[in-house]
Amino acid sequence: MELEKRDRVTGRTTTGHEWNGIEELETPIPRVVFFFLGATVLFSLICWVLYPTWPLGSTFTKGVTGFDQRNLVTEQVAKADAERASAWAGKVETMSFAEIEADPALMQPVKEAGRTLFVDNCAVCHGVSATGGPGFPNLTSKSWLWGGEPEAIEETIKVGINSTNDDTRVSQMMAFGRDGVLAPEQISNVVTYVRSLSGAEGDAAKIEAGKEVFAANCVACHGDNAKGSHDVGAPDLTDHFWIYGGDVNSVYTSVYSGRQGHMPHWDARLSPLQVKLLTVYVHTLDGAPQ
Ligand code: HEC
Ligand code: HEC
C-alpha cells in the first residue's frame, strides 16, 4: 500500500478517505487559527497563575496577584461613602451650631447620624425617643437642668454629671430628712408646697408652712420662684416635668433622701464630631427653632 497518496488535479496529499471516487484532501489548519488557539491556551494558563481561577471545595485558587474584584468593589464603595460623609462632616466640624441648624440640607444627614448615635449610646437611659423615665430626664421637654443652649448641652455630654471627669457638672440635691436638716413634718409641708406649684391640690395651711421651709432651705438652688437654676442643675419645680416622679411619695423621697443623678461623660468615648452631632440632635428635640 502506498504510504502517501496525492490528488491528481491539485497535487496535494489526501487523507486516504474516499467516497465514490471523491478523495478528501489533507488540508492543514490555517496557521493563523492555530496560533490564535495557542495564544488563548497560553493566555488562560497565565490567568490561572495570576488570578483567582479554580474552585477548590469551599475555597478557590487565589492567584499570585491577590487581585479580587469583590475587594475592589468593596473598596470603591467604602471610598465613595467616606467621600460623601466627609463632605458634610467637614462642614459640621467648622460651622457654628446656628449655621448648621439654619442649613436644612445639612440638617438631614446630621439628624440621621445624631439619632443613630443617640440610639447607640444614650437610649439605654434616656429612652429611644429621649423622653426619659424615672431618674432620667426627658430631653424633649424645655425643662432643662443645665440649660438648653447647644453650648450647655455639648458641655453636659462632654463632662457628664457627677461623673468621673475632672470637670464634671456636680448635681447635689441634699438629703434633708436623712441628714436631719428638716423634721418629717417640715418635709411633708414643703412637699405639699412644691407639688402645689404645678397645680396639685393641698391643704392651705400646709402649703403656707411649706412655703416658709422652701424659702429658708431651697431657694439657694431652686430659686425664689422655684424655677430652678442652670448653674447648679436644679430643676424647675413649677412645671409638669419630674425626673423622679411628682406623686407625694416620690417628691417626699427626693427631699428626704436627696438625689444625685449620674450621667456618664462622653469626651473619652466619642469624638468631638460625634458629640457635636449629638448636641445638634438633642438641641432640636425640644422643638427649639432650627
Ligand atoms: C447611664 C445613664 C445615662 C446615659 C447612658 C446617658 N445619660 Fe444623659 N443623663 C443621665 C442622667 C441621670 C441625667 C440627669 C442627671 C441629673 O439628674 O442631674 C442626664 C442628663 C443629661 C442631659 C442634661 C439634661 C438637662 O436637662 O440639662 C443631657 C443633655 C444628656 N443627659 C444627654 C445625654 C446624651 C446625648 C447621652 C448619650 C451620649 C446620654 N445623655 C447618655 C443619664 C444618662
Ligand atoms: C444645693 C442645691 C439644692 C438645694 C439646697 C435643694 N435642691 Fe432640690 N435639687 C437640686 C438638684 C441639683 C436637683 C436635681 C438632682 C438630680 O437630678 O440629680 C434637685 C432635685 C429636686 C427634686 C426632684 C425634682 C424632680 O424633677 O424629680 C425636688 C422635688 C427637689 N429638688 C426639692 C427640693 C426642696 C423641697 C428643697 C428644699 C428643702 C431643695 N430641693 C433644696 C438642688 C438643690
How high is the mean pLDDT in each 10-residue block of the chain (290 residues)? Answer: 73 86 85 95 93 88 84 90 82 94 93 95 96 94 93 97 96 96 97 96 96 97 96 95 96 97 96 96 74
pLDDT at 37: 95
Q: Are residues 106 and 161 in the same domain?
A: yes
pLDDT at 26: 85
Q: Are residues 202 and 219 in the same domain?
A: yes
For ligand 1, say whether the CB of 161 is within 6 Å of any of its atoms.
yes
For ligand 1, say whether the CB of 182 is within 6 Å of any of its atoms.
no
CB 252 within 8 A of CB 187: yes
Q: Are residues 156 and 96 in the same domain?
A: yes
Q: Are residues 24 and 154 in the same domain?
A: no
pLDDT at 136: 96
Residue 33 grid cell = 487559527
Residue 54 grid cell = 479554580
Q: Are residues 209 and 105 in the same domain?
A: no
Q: Are residues 251 and 206 in the same domain?
A: yes
Q: Are residues 270 and 161 in the same domain?
A: yes
pLDDT at 230: 95
Q: Give just the sign of the alpha carbon dihedral 175, 179, 184, 189.
A: negative
pLDDT at 11: 83
Query: Which ligand ends up closest to the CA of 179?
Result: 2
Q: Are residues 251 and 203 in the same domain?
A: yes
For ligand 1, say whether the CB of 121 is within 6 Å of any of its atoms.
yes
For ligand 2, say whether the CB of 266 is within 6 Å of any of its atoms.
no
* 259 vs 255: CA distance, rounded Å: 8
Instruction: Measure CA 104 to chain center.
Output: 20
Closest atom of ligand 1 to 233 CA is 18
32: domain range? Answer: 14-60
Q: Are residues 247 and 280 in the same domain?
A: no
Nearest to 231 by CA among 144, 125, 136, 135: 144
For ligand 1, say whether the CB of 261 is within 6 Å of any of its atoms.
yes
Which one-letter amino acid corresponds to residue 84?
R
- Residue from 168, 171, 221, 253 whose mutation best tests the ligand 2 pocket (most atoms within 8 A of CB): 221
Overall number of domains in the chain:
3
